[in-house]
């Protein structure tokens, strides 16, 4: 086995490894419909994804007429219940993800996930896609006291991967400002996915590199690690 530039690679989930936009949009629209709000398109909802379900719902409600705390609390529960029951209807890995994960594993790289999705939801969708066993750790937005953009979960991911035999040098891959800020605050090289659920142009995220597809991931990691 030839030496690879990084021992550990961490990933965000939604908009990075998996296109979850269809199922998340359906959950948002279910919650909005329950109070007579108009439906939003998947493209409208994509930039709202990344900060967790409550953050996403806040933006959906703001876009359709506003909200108060009582409404937000009620609809948050409505959204989560619907999403849990319909979590993997349209969700699928992005093109090239499986091949990239295979290639990293073949090089002895330990893989981890840090998402702002509730941990049990992250594990459920990964289970349904048969991907769970590929990752040494899976941390959700509720796994620790803080979530991204805090560096805490990224640092914990590195620690857990190291404990499982993953060596020391790590990089982080994501699609949102939360991912890049968390990775950078943790002191890791960061890679942004231009195909994800972008809240702003990918060039504005300030990542160390940008990939337009997973065929570019390993060469980019090699370049960053040189």
CA 167/CA 66 separation, integer angstroms: 48
CA 153/CA 138 separation, integer angstroms: 10
Q: Which of 12, 14, 175, 179 is catalytic?
A: 12
Strands 209-211 and 92-93: unpaired
Q: Is 107 exposed, middle or buried (0-12, 13-18, 19+ CB in 10 A)?
A: middle
Rounded to a whole number of angstroms, the distance between the first and last alpha carbons of the chain is 18
Q: Which tokens belong to 159?
A: 């620690």
Residues 10, 189: contact at Cβ < 8 Å?
no
CA distances for 137 relative to 12, 33, 111, 158, 199, angstroms:
12, 36, 7, 9, 27
CA 174/CA 199 separation, integer angstroms: 12
- 175 classed as catalytic: no
Strands 92-93 and 110-114: unpaired
List, by residue number, the catalytic residues: 12
């Amino acid at each position: 086995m030839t030496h690879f530039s990084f021992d550990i690679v961490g990933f965000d989930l939604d908009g990075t490894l998996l296109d979850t936009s269809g199922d998340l949009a359906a959950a948002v629209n279910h919650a909005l419909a329950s109070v007579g709000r108009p439906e939003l398109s998947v493209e409208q909802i994509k930039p709202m994804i990344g900060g967790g379900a409550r953050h996403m719902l806040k933006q959906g409600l703001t876009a359709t007429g506003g909200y108060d705390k009582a409404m937000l609390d009620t609809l948050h529960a409505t959204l989560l219940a619907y999403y849990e029951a319909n979590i993997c209807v349209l969700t699928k890995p992005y093109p090239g993800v499986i091949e990239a994960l295979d290639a990293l594993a073949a090089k002895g790289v330990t893989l981890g996930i840090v998402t702002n999705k509730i941990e049990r939801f992250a594990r459920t969708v990964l289970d349904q896609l048969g991907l769970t066993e590929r990752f040494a750790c899976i941390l959700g937005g509720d796994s620790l006291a803080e979530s991204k953009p805090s560096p805490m979960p990224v640092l914990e991911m590195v620690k857990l991967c190291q404990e499982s035999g993953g060596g020391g040098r790590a990089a982080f891959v994501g699609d949102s400002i939360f991912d890049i800020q968390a990775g950078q605050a943790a002191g890791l090289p960061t890679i942004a996915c231009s195909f994800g659920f972008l809240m702003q142009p990918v060039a504005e995220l300030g990542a160390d590199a940008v990939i337009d597809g997973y065929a570019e991931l390993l060469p980019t990691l090699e370049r960053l690690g040189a």
